Amino acid sequence: MLESLRNFLTGPRLFIVIACCALPFVFLGTSSLSTAFGGSLGTINGEDVSETDLQIASNITVERFKNLYGEDFDFALLDEDMQIAQIKQELIVQKVLLSKARNLGMVNKNSKKVAKKNIIKNPSFQIDGVFDEGIYEAQVNSNGQTKDSYIELMTNLTATEIYRFAISSINFATEEESLELAKLSEQSVDVDFIKIDFDQLKESISSSDEELNDYYSSNEGLFYSDEERSFSYIVLTSDNYKDRVSIPEGFVEDAYAEYLLKANERSQTRISHIMIDKNNHPSTEDAYKVVDDIKSKIENGRSFSELASIFSDDIVSRDTGGDLEYFSDVFPVEFGEAIKGIAVGGISSIVELDDSFHLIKVTEINEADIQPLSELKSKIITDLVDSESRALMNDDFLELEDMISANSSMESIGDVLSQKILFSDSSSANNFKFDVSDGRIAEYLYSSDSEVDTTHAIELEDSFIVLSINNIKESSLIDFNDVKSNVSDYLSSMKAIEKKTLLVEEVNAAKLDGSLDSVISAYAYIVKDNFVEVKRNSSLLPPEILSELFKYSSGEAMSMDSNNGDTFMIDVLKVTQPSGEYLSEIIEQYQSIAEQRVTQNMSTIINEDLFDNARINLDNSVF
């Protein structure tokens, strides 16, 4: 997996795909690269890079990887160079976009207003879902910021994200662009070509034992074996401990009683209300008369929701007929007392609070589904066994860590934990296979720092594994007889490349002197053929050949190797352009393709701007 990641992440990537809003991740602190906030790490496009910026870029990078590969992805599994490269890439993206957003005037009052709104909505600064100024100040101060400097930081991030979203949303294609794409795609060529089949040429080549021995002796570096390692291991899972768990007397009955108590708490009651604010009336008595009059109207058949929309002073719920959704402990205790025993559709008596009067209607009751003890008994026992077995496993792991710190052997660890020691076959990093799928295992086993007979523990998702390398078989030169077929393959490839060069010269000479047919007939791996009306998406020729072919005009010739080594010597006979009538019939088919192409072209331009033209001046001790 790490190798595929390396291939995917090498070089600039389309940042539109990886973009994620920076704002939620400022305080996550997932990176180990930064120390204390403050100080300068250099500049990018004239924008100062601080340790705060490094922290934010680190957090966003971790979240980006989780978005791509799942929440369980561990960024720390990547080697340090790759981690730093990815964080640096995110820093460049952030600062270049900020620079451009600033130049366009996007760091302004509006982005500051949006930033403040996001701060207020941030759960890190809330108590019971409400923004708290004291919590906000304490949080930002603990991270080396003042309230004003944090607002400035978030304003910059907001402007960056607005600009990033704007340029990543460009996918509009004009009719001219769609037409141009259709012309290119529907263009066709007629060709004559000669193909030299590399694989057949290679198969026709033979080498003597003396040649093979000479090649082997001159290129020994190609024929060394992989280093191999074998190891012993212990896997601790909670299943190993289940038979040690006993069920206390009366536990099932006590657990069921607690379940019944919580089941009643799980019942949900939905309520609506009409609120009369005392402050909107000359006196408390006047306010009471208003709510009492409303209560009389309800008793006489008027709709509660209609009256709420007319008279309620609660501007939040008034437009929804007074709906407050499901009752919870965030409501005043007086509300809870007032609705006790009221059925669906029932209205409470008048509820008085310090500043208001309320009428409350019960609109819905969802009773909890209570299961009998006979159905829950098995689950209660299973849950206890699972919980206690995990606790016993964790206890052993704590003891295991102490034993590893004391350099205890696998044998002594197995004895203390009463666990069986298992043994692996010898394998290399290239062919390593193991029942437990976790990249950290191979990373440890094949690390140059790992030593024989040293124990190491890895915490897995729901288990632990203890490893110890038993033997390291060093890489060595493989005996000639064991790699003779590989030697032959290498040598044949080298000879085939050399001979193919001579064949191209021979074919070109034969074209001039009129002996082409006799040359072609002399070699089984050379064929002559022709195709008509070949288009850019054709499968008749390799795509890398086609991409070059359409750069030529009628009467021109080209010669090129395909990716598999075959050589194509092509004469372009005719280039045909699609008619206007035909284009008008198919233009709609190319509209969406043209839009995708615009997006791809935009991403290319953006990446060139970000990674090729960015003015980067960063501290080399960090990057």
Q: Does residue 325 sit in helix, strand or coil?
A: strand
Same domain, 427 and 565: no
Which CATH number do you get for residue 337? 3.10.50.40
Q: Which is it for the CA torsion 109, 110, 112, 116, positive or negative?
A: positive
**pLDDT at residue 366 greater than cutoff 60:** yes
The reported pLDDT for the residue numbered 271 is 92
* The pair of three-digit structure tokens given for residue 543, joined into one six-digit string: 């795509």
Q: What is the pTM of this model?
A: 0.47
Q: What percent of the chain clears pLDDT 90, i.e. is strictly above it? A: 41
The reported pLDDT for the residue numbered 608 is 61
Under the banding of pLDDT at 50, 70 and 90, the label for residue 620 is: low
Same domain, 462 and 512: no
Under the banding of pLDDT at 50, 70 and 90, the label for residue 603 is: low
Same domain, 451 and 525: no
Burial, 395: exposed, middle or buried (Cβ in 10 Å; 0-12, 13-18, 19+)?
A: exposed
**pLDDT at residue 1 greater than cutoff 50:** no
Quick one: which H or E segment has residue 59?
Answer: helix 51-69
The reported pLDDT for the residue numbered 622 is 62
Which residues constitute the domain of residue 558? Answer: 188-223+483-576
- Taking only the tens place, the pLDDT of each residue in 347-362 is 999 999 998 999 999 9
In a domain, 582, yes or no: no
Q: Which of 123-127, 163-167, 473-477, 515-519 has the lowest mean pLDDT?
A: 163-167
- Calculate mean pLDDT across residues 63-69: 78
- Calculate mean pLDDT across residues 484-509: 95
In a domain, 597, yes or no: no
Same domain, 151 and 192: no
**pLDDT at residue 16 greater than cutoff 60:** no
- Taking only the tens place, the pLDDT of each residue in 504-561 is 999 999 999 999 999 999 999 999 999 999 998 889 999 899 989 999 999 999 999 9
Q: Which of 3-7, 378-382, 541-545, 558-562 has the lowest mean pLDDT?
A: 3-7
**Strand ranges inside 317-454, DSSP E:** 323-326, 351-352, 356-366, 422-423
The reported pLDDT for the residue numbered 428 is 94
Q: Is residue 202 within 8 Å of 493, Cβ to Cβ? A: yes
Same domain, 233 and 212: no
**pLDDT at residue 129 greater than cutoff 60:** yes
Under the banding of pLDDT at 50, 70 and 90, the label for residue 37 is: very low
The reported pLDDT for the residue numbered 57 is 86
- Calculate mean pLDDT across residues 580-589: 81
The reported pLDDT for the residue numbered 91 is 87
Under the banding of pLDDT at 50, 70 and 90, the label for residue 183 is: confident
In a domain, 253, yes or no: no
In a domain, 581, yes or no: no
* Total number of domains in the chain: 4
Structure-derived torsion over alpha carbons of residues 503, 508, 510, 512, reported in degrees to the nearest 10: -170
CB atoms inside a 10 Å sphere around CB 48: 11
- Calculate mean pLDDT across residues 66-91: 81
What is the rounded CA–CA span in Å between residue 291 and residue 275?
Answer: 8
In a domain, 460, yes or no: yes
Q: Which of 154-168, 223-237, 240-254 has the lowest mean pLDDT?
A: 154-168
Same domain, 162 and 68: yes
The reported pLDDT for the residue numbered 595 is 59
In a domain, 118, yes or no: yes
Same domain, 123 and 207: no
Q: Which of 40-49, 184-193, 287-296 has the lowest mean pLDDT?
A: 40-49
What is the rounded CA–CA span in Å between residue 620 and residue 88?
Answer: 11
Spell out the long-range contacts of 144-152 with Cβ–Cβ below 8 A and sequence spacing 24 or more: 144/36, 144/37, 144/38, 144/52, 145/37, 145/52, 150/119, 151/112, 151/115, 151/116, 151/119
493: Cβ–Cβ under 8 A, 6 or more apart, which residues?
Answer: 202
Same domain, 287 and 401: no
In a domain, 11, yes or no: yes
- Calculate mean pLDDT across residues 495-501: 96
Q: What percent of the chain clears pLDDT 70, i.e. is strictly above it? A: 86
Same domain, 42 and 70: yes
**pLDDT at residue 294 greater than cutoff 50:** yes
Q: Which of 473, 496, 526 is the last residue of a domain?
A: 473
467: Cβ–Cβ under 8 A, 6 or more apart, which residues?
Answer: 231, 232, 233, 441, 444, 445, 455, 456, 457, 458
Q: Which of 453, 473, 493 is the last residue of a domain?
A: 473
Q: Which of 13-27, 300-314, 585-599 has the lowest mean pLDDT?
A: 13-27
- Calculate mean pLDDT across residues 99-117: 84
The reported pLDDT for the residue numbered 312 is 93
**pLDDT at residue 27 greater than cutoff 60:** no
C-alpha distance across the termini of the chain, in Å: 25
Same domain, 340 and 434: no
Q: Work out the mean pLDDT of the chain and round it to a whole number.
A: 84
Same domain, 142 and 219: no
**Strand ranges inside 134-219, DSSP E:** 188-196
- Calculate mean pLDDT across residues 178-199: 89
- Taking only the tens place, the pLDDT of each residue in 197-228 is 999 999 999 999 999 999 999 999 999 999 99
**pLDDT at residue 480 greater than cutoff 90:** yes
In a domain, 66, yes or no: yes
Under the banding of pLDDT at 50, 70 and 90, the label for residue 125 is: confident
Under the banding of pLDDT at 50, 70 and 90, the label for residue 497 is: very high
- Taking only the tens place, the pLDDT of each residue in 404-449 is 888 899 999 999 888 899 999 999 998 999 988 888 999 999 998 9
- Calculate mean pLDDT across residues 227-252: 91
Q: Which of 282-286, 346-350, 536-540, 618-622 has the lowest mean pLDDT?
A: 618-622
The reported pLDDT for the residue numbered 584 is 83
Q: Which of 445, 473, 501 is the last residue of a domain?
A: 473
Same domain, 153 and 13: yes
The reported pLDDT for the residue numbered 48 is 87
Quick one: which H or E segment has residue 457?
Answer: strand 455-459
